[in-house]
């Protein structure tokens, strides 16, 4: 079930009504059932997989909590089990293809056939949540003792399929509190996410797809439009999903962590990763980079840790070499960025210059350019296709394939509208006294919500594209 | 006690101030004013935004008391589907640029009638067959200026095209009238099915009397016109013509209905599967016994009551006389206005299509009407074309329109009358 589908617009209000009308004691169970319905609406059999994984991790968590000599062993079993499942579903075909292409270089041989495994939705996200749970319990955290609470943590539908990757401590804390729905904020986030997804991301997808389907035929301007379109498509798509998830959670009285904080205005690459997919980057930091030694080791080791973390982060995004290249580029960029920061901090004049606005703007533009360049490898079908796009970017050719699609979609109007809303909301949240006199009554607010909902759907292209992060 | 003058003044001021008792009227009105104002602003904003973004511009047909269906004059059509197109319907209700009613001297004017294949569904005006045909004819360097007028209306049958010819097309003084006759044209002149609704069900019905004369019956059209759907469409005429919000709402409702139907079908399928898994015997018990196939189709005057192939074959036999009579009347109407009449035909290869093809050829030769038969040449062009000529909804792609126009232009150039005609056209009529 997609957040932007009619099914969800029927499912969610029903769940919401049932949830708030039911007695408090039944609410968690009801939410759990709703979460499984949500998950199984796509492929019922994978509901069973989720259930088994939940049950296994719950048991392992309790075993680790016994704090005897074998708790590390149980942790290892839990982590290996989760990673094995992730690898089986996500990387089997990738390994077969790599194996085939590697052996194919040495002469003729019978290639191994691909398997017809279908990737369970959101497995990358809930596997990371399980690993975080087991590690934190092993580090001394209190395990979840109630199976329903644990199952709800794993299957909570607003964050089930594409995150944000939750921390169990925060979630359990909320389960113990009297939940109060944040109605206005919830609806605002739901509508904001819907507009981002259907009016912006889905229309930008048409533009990006037109370019990336045949990158070698593009001229420089067309290639640039396609790259920019994908840059904003992925942001609006993913942050739109997160907004809708967070909005839904708010209405149910829960709060989910924020995943994005204006990533494209980041002043450097480290800053970018503090603003982009925050829950993943913090997970990678806490459960991969720091256990590898983090920054508290030699310079070479620190850079190697950084590179390895980003490589694995790239591979997490998709079982393909171009994702690995994307991760490697970000890793290399981060190493250079750290080295440059160290150099700047040693030179006082340079440090002062970097604090001034013109250089900060230059730094942000440079970071954005690098991020866009990296997105090419992320979006392209293969590495050769990505290089083709880079070649088109610098070529002197002329084409209007992508430009024509751009002007045919209503995306430019949608972008202007979103910019106006963004500016207004920024002023509103930074300077509330300015709007002190402006109080809207409930019916007026309802009219505005309905108008935005209607506008978002009206802007949607006839064919909706799935959320990009569903494939990860 | 003596009070200070200032205090006294303050007291007077306070006492003289009327008590601020909230009036009931104000209390009732205030909660209504803000939502009303917000609603008004929202509507205006949405209309403005949708106009700029060209959203809600897919509603372009309106009921017409004569032809049943007409394009809404001065309405912009923006289609974002498999293909993108944005076109303006002119004040005469043609999906075409605005032509002058009076023909310029020395201009050779061709009026093309037909359905959405001629109108050019899903393509830009400069990608339609009519545009390519005009371009092709003007590019031959003869010095003769050609103008092609597009009178295509989606869902139009031959009978409706005949009415449009008499009502509108001939008033533009065309030198040549081309009618695109689709394969299985005979099925298009069967009695309309009112339940198929607008625009398919809303059309007049033609029949041939025993003496061979063509008659028009408005009974079906009037029955539809008095029905709920027609009333609704007429009542909402202003909104359908002017409101982008209404257009967008219509598209959303249409998509939602499709989703509901699809979901229902999926659910039924799921239920039947689940039931079969649960107890095949139970289903078998409940299922009605299969009927023995009847050897002969039911004797009915309604061809739609017949299955598949028989339906269209019988249609051809039963209704080709109506097709022929309509074409004959079109030819006569053109003759009266000193316009030449010709038919564009692409036949199909199924049994009914082949039967109709033979009838069409013999009719054209009997009545000496020029038949631009593209059946073979279009097949050949399609097999040689690298680009697809049809969209998934069976309309032409821009390449399809171009090929279609090229074939028509070639056939026109080989036609004796067309070769001679331009030389005499330099004199104003």
HEC profile for B120-183? CCCCCHHHCHHHHHHHHHHCCCCCCEEEEEECCCCCCCHHHHHHHHHHCHHHHCCCEEEEEECC
B374 and B394 belong to one structural domain = yes
Confidence at residue A467, expressed as pLDDT on a 0 to 100 scale = 63
Confidence at residue A471, expressed as pLDDT on a 0 to 100 scale = 57
Please state the rounded mean pLDDT for residues A187-213.
Answer: 92
CA distances from A146 to A29, A149, A150 (A): 11, 5, 6
Whether A303 is catalytic is: no
B273 and B384 belong to one structural domain = no
Nearest CB to A444; choose among B34, B46, B245: B34
Please state the rounded mean pLDDT for residues B318-333.
Answer: 91
Chain A residues whose C-beta sits inside 8 Å of any chain B C-beta: 6-7, 408-410, 413-414, 417, 440-441, 443-444, 447-448, 451, 454-455, 457-459, 461-462
A57 and A120 belong to one structural domain = yes
Q: Do A417 and B49 touch (CB under 8 A)?
A: yes
Residue B13 burial by CB count (10 A; 0-12/13-18/19+): exposed, middle or buried? exposed
The answer to the question of residue A410 being in a domain is yes
pLDDT confidence tier of residue A299, bands split at 50, 70 and 90: confident
Q: Do B252 and A454 touch (CB under 8 A)?
A: yes
B222 and B259 belong to one structural domain = no
A244 and A267 belong to one structural domain = yes
For residue B85 the two structure tokens come to 């197109």
Nearest CB to B248; choose among A413, A447, A458: A458
For residue A425 the two structure tokens come to 């909301």
The answer to the question of residue A239 being in a domain is yes
Q: Which residues of A touch B47 (CB under 8 A)?
A: none
For residue A459 the two structure tokens come to 């802007």
Tell me the per-residue pLDDT of B14-27, one tens digit each, with 9 for 90 and over: 444 555 555 555 56
CA–CA dist A266, A270 (Å, integer): 8
Q: Of the residues A179, A208, A223, which one is the last residue of a structural domain?
A: A179
- Quick one: what percent of chain A has pLDDT higher than 70? 98
Q: Do A454 and B249 touch (CB under 8 A)?
A: yes
B270 and B362 belong to one structural domain = no
Confidence at residue A257, expressed as pLDDT on a 0 to 100 scale = 87
B102 and B167 belong to one structural domain = yes
- Rounded to 10 deg, the angle between the A357-379 and A383-394 helix axes is 130
Transcribe B26-77 into DSSP letters.
HHHHHHHHHHHHHHHHHHHHHHHHHHHHT-S----EEEETTTEEEEPTT-EE
CB atoms under 10 Å from CB of A143, counted, come to 20
Catalytic residue among A277, A317, A322, A338: A317
Q: How far is A400 from chain B (nearest CA, A)?
A: 15
Tell me how many domains chain A contains: 2
The answer to the question of residue B36 being in a domain is no
β-strand partners of B340? B176
B125 and B272 belong to one structural domain = no
Transcribe A64-111 into DSSP letters.
HHT-STTHHHHHHHHHHHHHHHHHHHHHHHHHHHHHHHHHHTTS---P
**Range with the lowest mean pLDDT among B44-53, B121-130, B182-191?**
B182-191
Substitution target in A451, A456, A459, A461 with the highest count of B β-carbons within 10 Å is A451
Task: Indicate if the pLDDT at residue B363 is higher than 80.
Answer: yes
Nearest CB to A408; choose among B52, B80, B263: B80
Nearest CB to A447; choose among B42, B55, B252: B42
CB atoms under 10 Å from CB of B266, counted, come to 10
For residue B226 the two structure tokens come to 């008095």
ipTM field: 0.82
CA–CA dist B156, B94 (Å, integer): 13
A161 and A309 belong to one structural domain = no
CA–CA dist B99, B96 (Å, integer): 8
pLDDT confidence tier of residue B287, bands split at 50, 70 and 90: very low
Q: Do A462 and B50 touch (CB under 8 A)?
A: no
- Chain A residue with the nearest C-alpha to that of B257: A6
B316 and B255 belong to one structural domain = no
The answer to the question of residue A464 being in a domain is no
A84 and A45 belong to one structural domain = yes
Task: Indicate if the pLDDT at residue B234 is higher than 80.
Answer: yes
Q: Do A454 and B46 touch (CB under 8 A)?
A: yes
Q: How far is B126 from chain A (nearest CA, A)?
A: 15
Q: Do A410 and B55 touch (CB under 8 A)?
A: yes
Our measurement of the distance from residue A380's CA atom to the centroid of its chain's CA atoms, rounded to an integer in Å, reads: 18
CA–CA dist A181, B403 (Å, integer): 62
For residue B416 the two structure tokens come to 């004796």
A111, A100 in Cβ contact below 8 A? Answer: yes
Q: Which residues of B touch A462 (CB under 8 A)?
A: 80-81, 255
B258 and B236 belong to one structural domain = no
A303 and A214 belong to one structural domain = yes
Tell me which H or E stretch contains B206: strand B205-208
B232 and B85 belong to one structural domain = yes
Confidence at residue B134, expressed as pLDDT on a 0 to 100 scale = 93
Task: Indicate if the pLDDT at residue B319 is higher than 90.
Answer: no
A233 and A146 belong to one structural domain = no
A235 and A154 belong to one structural domain = no
B223, B203 in Cβ contact below 8 A? Answer: no
A188 and A325 belong to one structural domain = yes
Substitution target in A447, A449, A456, A457 with the highest count of B β-carbons within 10 Å is A447
B221 and B150 belong to one structural domain = yes
Range of the domain at A198: 184-459
The answer to the question of residue A301 being in a domain is yes
Q: Do B34 and A414 touch (CB under 8 A)?
A: no
Confidence at residue A438, expressed as pLDDT on a 0 to 100 scale = 73
Task: Indicate if the pLDDT at residue A193 is higher than 50.
Answer: yes
- Give rounded-to-5 percent helix, strand, coil for chain B: 55, 15, 35
**Coil/strand/helix, residue B342:** strand
Q: Of the residues A135, A160, A179, which one is the last residue of a structural domain?
A: A179
Residue of A126 and B297 predicted with greater confidence: A126
Our measurement of the distance from residue A117's CA atom to the centroid of its chain's CA atoms, rounded to an integer in Å, reads: 23
For residue B11 the two structure tokens come to 């007291």
Q: Which residues of A touch B55 (CB under 8 A)?
A: 410, 458-459
The answer to the question of residue A472 being in a domain is no
B331 and B264 belong to one structural domain = no
Q: Do A6 and B256 touch (CB under 8 A)?
A: yes
The answer to the question of residue A1 being in a domain is no
A355 and A285 belong to one structural domain = yes
Nearest to A163 by CA among A105, A94, A239, A111: A239
Please state the rounded mean pLDDT for residues B82-97.
Answer: 90
A298 and A162 belong to one structural domain = no
pLDDT confidence tier of residue B105, bands split at 50, 70 and 90: confident
pLDDT averaged over chain A? 87
B420 and B319 belong to one structural domain = yes
Task: Indicate if the pLDDT at residue B29 is higher than 60.
Answer: yes
Q: Of the residues A109, A144, A179, which one is the last residue of a structural domain?
A: A179
Q: Do B46 and A448 touch (CB under 8 A)?
A: no
The answer to the question of residue B33 being in a domain is no
CATH number, domain at B405?
3.40.50.1110
- Chain A residue with the nearest C-alpha to that of B251: A458
Tell me which H or E stretch contains B371: strand B370-373
The answer to the question of residue A386 being in a domain is yes
Q: Do B81 and A462 touch (CB under 8 A)?
A: yes
Please state the rounded mean pLDDT for residues A254-282.
Answer: 90
Tell me how many domains chain B contains: 2
Range of the domain at B152: 61-242+306-424
Q: Which residues of A touch B46 (CB under 8 A)?
A: 451, 454-455
Q: Which residues of B touch A7 (CB under 8 A)?
A: 263
A156 and A209 belong to one structural domain = no
Q: Which of A288-302, B29-43, B322-336 has the highest mean pLDDT?
A: B322-336
Confidence at residue B295, expressed as pLDDT on a 0 to 100 scale = 38
B322, B301 in Cβ contact below 8 A? Answer: no
A331 and A363 belong to one structural domain = yes
Nearest to A198 by CA among A7, A407, A2: A2
Nearest CB to B35; choose among A409, A443, A461: A443
CB atoms under 10 Å from CB of A202, counted, come to 26
Q: Do B49 and A408 touch (CB under 8 A)?
A: no
Tell me the per-residue pLDDT of A404-442, one tens digit each, with 9 for 90 and over: 888 889 999 999 999 999 998 888 888 877 777 777 788
Q: Spell out a b/e string for A272-305, using b for 16 or more CB atoms within 10 Å of the CB, else e.
A: bbebbbbbbbbbbeebbbeeeebeeeeeeebbbb
Q: Which residues of A touch B56 (CB under 8 A)?
A: 458
Q: Do A440 and B80 touch (CB under 8 A)?
A: no
Please state the rounded mean pLDDT for residues B44-64.
Answer: 91
* Beta-strand relationship, B340-345 and B176-181: parallel
Q: How far is A393 from chain B (nearest CA, A)?
A: 26
For residue B60 the two structure tokens come to 């372009």
Nearest to A131 by CA among A148, A154, A112: A154
β-strand partners of B341? B177
The answer to the question of residue B49 being in a domain is no
């Amino acid at each position: 079930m997609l957040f932007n589908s009619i099914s969800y617009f029927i499912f969610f209000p029903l769940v919401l009504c049932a949830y708030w009308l039911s007695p408090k004691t039944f609410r968690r169970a009801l939410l759990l059932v709703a979460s499984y319905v949500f998950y199984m609406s796509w492929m019922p059999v994978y509901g069973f997989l989720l259930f088994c994984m939940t049950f296994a991790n719950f048991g392992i968590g309790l075993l680790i909590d016994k704090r005897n000599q074998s708790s590390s062993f149980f942790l290892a079993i839990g982590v290996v089990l989760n990673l094995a499942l992730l690898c089986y579903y996500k990387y089997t075909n990738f390994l077969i293809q790599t194996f085939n292409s590697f052996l194919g270089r040495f002469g003729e041989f019978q290639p191994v056939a691909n398997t017809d495994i279908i990737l369970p939705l959101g497995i990358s996200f809930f596997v990371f949540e399980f690993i975080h749970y087991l590690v934190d319990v092993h580090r001394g955290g209190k395990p979840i003792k109630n199976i329903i609470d644990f199952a709800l943590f794993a299957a909570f539908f607003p964050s089930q399929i594409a995150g944000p990757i939750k921390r169990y401590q925060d979630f359990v804390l909320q389960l113990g509190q009297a939940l109060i729905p944040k109605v206005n904020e919830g609806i605002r986030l739901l509508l904001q996410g819907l507009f981002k997804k259907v009016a912006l991301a889905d229309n930008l997808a048409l533009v990006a797809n037109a370019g990336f389907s045949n990158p070698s035929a593009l001229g420089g301007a067309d290639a640039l439009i396609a790259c920019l379109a994908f840059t904003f498509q992925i942001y609006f798509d993913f942050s739109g999903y997160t907004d809708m998830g967070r909005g839904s959670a708010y209405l149910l009285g829960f709060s989910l962590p924020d995943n994005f904080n204006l990533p494209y205005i980041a002043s450097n690459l480290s800053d970018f990763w503090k603003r982009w997919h925050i829950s993943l980057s913090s997970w990678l930091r806490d459960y991969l980079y720091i256990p590898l030694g983090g920054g508290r080791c030699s310079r070479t080791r620190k850079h190697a840790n950084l590179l390895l973390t980003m490589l694995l982060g790239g591979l997490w995004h998709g079982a393909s070499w171009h994702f690995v290249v994307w991760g490697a580029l970000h890793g290399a960029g981060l190493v250079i960025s750290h080295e440059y920061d160290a150099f700047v901090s040693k030179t006082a004049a340079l440090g002062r210059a970097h604090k001034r606005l013109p250089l900060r703007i230059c730094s942000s533009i440079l970071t954005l350019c690098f991020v866009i360049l990296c997105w090419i490898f992320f979006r392209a079908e293969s590495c050769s296709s990505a290089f083709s796009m880079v070649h088109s970017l610098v070529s002197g050719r002329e084409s209007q394939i992508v430009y024509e699609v751009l002007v045919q979609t209503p995306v430019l109007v949608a972008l202007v509208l979103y910019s106006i809303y963004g500016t207004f909301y920024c002023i509103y949240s930074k300077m509330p006294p300015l709007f002190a006199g402006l109080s809207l009554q409930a019916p007026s607010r309802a009219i505005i919500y309905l108008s935005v909902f209607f506008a978002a759907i009206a802007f949607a292209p006839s064919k909706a594209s799935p959320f990009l992060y569903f494939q990860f | 006690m003596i009070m200070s003058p200032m205090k006294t003044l303050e007291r007077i001021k306070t006492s003289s101030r009327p008590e601020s008792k909230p009036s009931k009227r104000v209390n009732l009105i205030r909660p209504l004013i803000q939502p009303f104002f917000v609603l008004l602003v929202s509507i205006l904003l949405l209309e403005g935004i949708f106009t700029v973004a060209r959203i809600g511009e897919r509603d372009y047909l309106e009921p017409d008391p004569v032809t049943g269906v007409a394009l809404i004059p001065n309405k912009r059509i923006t289609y974002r589907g498999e293909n993108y197109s944005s076109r303006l319907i002119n004040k005469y209700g043609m999906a075409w640029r605005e032509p002058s009613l009076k023909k310029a001297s020395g201009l050779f004017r061709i009026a093309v009638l037909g359905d959405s294949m001629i109108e050019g569904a899903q393509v830009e005006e400069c990608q339609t067959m009519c545009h390519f045909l005009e371009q092709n004819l003007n590019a031959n360097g003869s010095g003769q200026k050609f103008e092609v007028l597009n009178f295509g209306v989606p869902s139009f049958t031959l009978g409706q095209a005949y009415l449009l010819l008499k009502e509108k097309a001939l008033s533009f003084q065309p030198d040549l009238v081309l009618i695109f006759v689709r394969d299985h044209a005979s099925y298009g002149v069967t009695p309309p099915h009112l339940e198929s609704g607008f625009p398919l069900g809303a059309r007049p019905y033609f029949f041939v009397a025993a003496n061979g004369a063509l008659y028009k019956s408005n009974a079906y059209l009037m029955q539809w016109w008095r029905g709920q759907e027609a009333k609704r469409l007429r009542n909402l005429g202003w909104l359908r013509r002017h409101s982008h919000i209404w257009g967008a709402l219509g598209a959303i409702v249409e998509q939602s209905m499709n989703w509901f139907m699809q979901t229902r079908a999926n659910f039924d399928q799921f239920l039947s599967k689940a039931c079969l898994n649960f107890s095949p015997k139970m289903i078998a018990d409940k299922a009605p016994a299969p009927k023995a196939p009847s050897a002969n189709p039911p004797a009915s005057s309604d061809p739609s009551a017949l299955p598949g192939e028989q339906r269209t074959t019988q249609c051809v036999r039963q209704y080709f006389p109506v097709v022929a009579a309509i074409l004959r009347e079109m030819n006569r109407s053109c003759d009266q206005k000193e316009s030449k009449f010709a038919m564009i035909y692409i036949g199909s290869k199924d049994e009914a299509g082949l039967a109709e093809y033979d009838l069409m050829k013999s009719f054209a030769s009997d009545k000496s009407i020029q038949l631009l038969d593209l059946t073979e040449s279009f097949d050949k062009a399609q097999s040689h074309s690298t680009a697809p000529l049809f969209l998934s909804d069976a309309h032409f792609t821009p390449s399809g329109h171009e090929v279609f126009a090229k074939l028509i232009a070639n056939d026109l150039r080989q036609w004796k009358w067309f070769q001679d005609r331009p030389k005499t056209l330099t004199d104003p009529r």
